[in-house]
Amino acid sequence: MLSKPIMKYLEQEEAGVLSSLLAQAGIDSTVKRQGLPRIFGGISNYQVQIDPKNTAKSKTILDDFKSRSAEIRAENLHRLTTFCPSCNSQNIYIVEKTNPLLKIFYLGVIIHKCKDCSAQWYT
Ligand SMILES: [Zn+2]
């Protein structure tokens, strides 16, 4: 049974990479999409499941994967705070949450906006 989630909240691409790394080590896995919607662009919703008996065997692969995906996420975050994701402009700014409703709605989220194309995104 491929029923043990070893990694959650992955991008679809990340989940695919992890799954193929496991396959290379002879560990079967399944990528499962979670029902949660995508929130604020950064958090995603795939998980990789394995047979619980392969837990120990998958540990090294998982640790490598985690440190690598942390690097990639840090790079992505850096990009999202430097460039507009829609037009690549560096003419971007952080939206002040002056409205109390904005503060509540975007709690823990930074709102970025592009001066060139008016795109808005969150980190
Ligand atoms: Zn833009």
Report CA(72)–ligand 1 centroid distance (Å): 22
Same domain membership, residue 49 and residue 12 = yes
Report CA(90)–ligand 1 centroid distance (Å): 8
Domain span at 55: 4-80
Phi-psi region of 69 (alpha: psi -120 to 50; beta: other; left: phi over 0): alpha
Report CA(86)–ligand 1 centroid distance (Å): 5
The CATH number of the domain where 16 resides is what? 3.30.70.1530
Report CA(27)–ligand 1 centroid distance (Å): 43
Same domain membership, residue 104 and residue 76 = no
Same domain membership, residue 8 and residue 47 = yes
- pLDDT tens sequence across 25-75: 999 999 998 765 555 554 457 899 999 999 999 999 999 999 988 898 899
What's the predicted TM-score (pTM) here?
Answer: 0.62
Same domain membership, residue 116 and residue 59 = no
Between CA 28 and CA 24 the distance in angstroms is 9
Same domain membership, residue 101 and residue 73 = no
Q: List the beta bridge partners of residue 48.
A: 7, 31
Between CA 15 and CA 94 the distance in angstroms is 31
Decide if 75 is inside a domain: yes
